[in-house]
Amino acid sequence: MSVRLKLTLSYAGFLMVAGILLLAVVWVFLLRYVPDNDVILGPSGWIPNRGDLERAFVPKVVWMLGFLLLFGLAGGWILAGRMLAPLARITDATRVAAGGSLSHRIQLPGSRDEFRELADAFDAMLARLEAHVAEQQRFAANASHELRTPLAITKAVLDVARNDPDRDTSALIDRLQAVNTRAIDLTEALLLVSRAEQGSFARERVDLSLLAEEATETLLPLAEKHGVTIETSGDITPTVGSSALLLQLTMNLVHNAIVHNAHGYGTVWVKTHVRPTTVVLTVENTGEFLSPELVSTLTEPFQRGTQRIHSDHAGVGLGLAIVKTITEAHDGTLTLTPRAAGGLHISVELPQTPSAGIRTARA
């Protein structure tokens, strides 16, 4: 049976039970006190006995119960239909979404009852799902384009080597190795993004200050090569997450701050500090003046600032996109702000956890 039919039968049954109980009250508290024998008041008067009242009352009771049954079924069917009408709209929207149209919304009117809350929650889910699918499609298109470039270069290099056997192949091999390395880096970055988005990682207690120190020490030769100074400071910043992913996040931020800097005299500031309920990692660097419009696009995949950079440490265009994905996977917030003097200020805010058991960062 449908829910509407079940509610209709429930309404009608409840109404019948209420009618029967009312008649039982009349019988118990009224008819039972009427005598069975005739009561003669005089030559011209008498009082009906219990049998007379039952013969007069029972047919009317049957008709009344029949009317209550029909009224309960009809009224219950109408009331159930009105009550379940919002659920029908939600069901229709679900079918539309299942057919692939994620732009459809229920937008249920009326007071904020249980159906309205369900419809609003469903609309919010569709909005998030639509945005996620659009982002995935855009990411897949960009990834396909980026992977096609090294493959095309590889094919061209191999064609040159095959068509010109006398050509010095050492330069071609070096070029092929560089292109292959770039394709491997891009593939590993794509896998890292997928792993972070799925949340398939073990969580442990992590101190961001130690990760900032490790990332700084690892990338110090690159900073010296570019003539960039790195200054690290801050407090113990305990949080919970994947140590490997958070280290990758810190490495990407520091690497990005070194590469996109004023080479020869630039500076990178890496700081950690604690707030009442969160911990914050900030990476700030000198460099070119950036507009707020440009900064808002830097976390999109394969965005490299004002221009595409072709160097040994240019990356694959997924640095800040990976940072954003890892931050969201750890329930954190990523904020990018252009510096008034040029360069970029990046802040990663993550939930704080008690610092017991986390070793102290070296000075």
pLDDT at position 156 = 81
- Pairwise CA distance, residues 232 & 220, whole Å: 12
pLDDT at 306 (0 to 100) = 47
| Whether the Cβ atoms of residue 180 and residue 154 lie closer than 8 Å to each other | yes
Instruction: Work out whether strand 39-42 and strand 344-351 pair parallel, antiparallel, or are unpaired.
Output: unpaired
Cα distance from N-terminal residue to C-terminal residue, the chain:
72
Of 333 and 6, more confident: 333
pLDDT at residue 209, as a whole number: 92
Tens of pLDDT, residues 167-183:
777 777 877 887 787 77
For tokens 């429930």, the residue is 10
What are 148's two structure tokens? 């096609």
For 29, the token pair is 């508290």
Is the model's pLDDT at 39 over the cut of 70? Answer: no
Q: How far is CA 115 from CA 34, 76, 96, 129, 331, in A?
A: 53, 19, 18, 21, 29
The per-residue pLDDT for 272 is 93
Give pLDDT tens digits for 277-318: 999 999 999 988 888 888 888 887 666 554 444 444 445 567
Task: Give pLDDT, residue 361.
Answer: 40
Residue 337: predicted pLDDT:
93
Query: What pLDDT is stored for residue 359 in this prediction?
Result: 45
User: What per-residue confidence (pLDDT) applies to 349?
Assistant: 95
| Torsion from C-alpha of 256, 262, 263, 264, nearest 10 degrees | -140
Kindly report, residue by residue over 15-24, the tens digit of the pLDDT: 888 888 887 8
pLDDT digits (tens, 9 = 90+) for 316-329: 567 788 888 889 88
The pLDDT assigned to 40 comes to 61
Top-confidence residue, 141 or 11: 11
What pLDDT is attached to residue 308?
41
Please state which of the ranges 50-64, 115-129, 242-256 shows the lowest mean pLDDT: 50-64
DSSP letter at 200? Answer: -
Strands 238-241 and 204-207: antiparallel
Distance CA 93, CA 2 (A): 19
Give the residue-averaged pLDDT of 89-99: 84
Share of the chain above pLDDT 70, in %: 83
Two structure tokens written together for 307: 């221009």
Asked if residue 241 lies in contact with residue 203, where contact means CB atoms within 8 angstroms, the answer is: yes
Rg value, the chain, Cα? 38
Query: DSSP H helical segments within the chain, as ranges?
Result: 3-29, 50-98, 114-163, 169-198, 208-226, 243-259, 292-295, 319-329
Residue type at 308 in one-letter notation = R
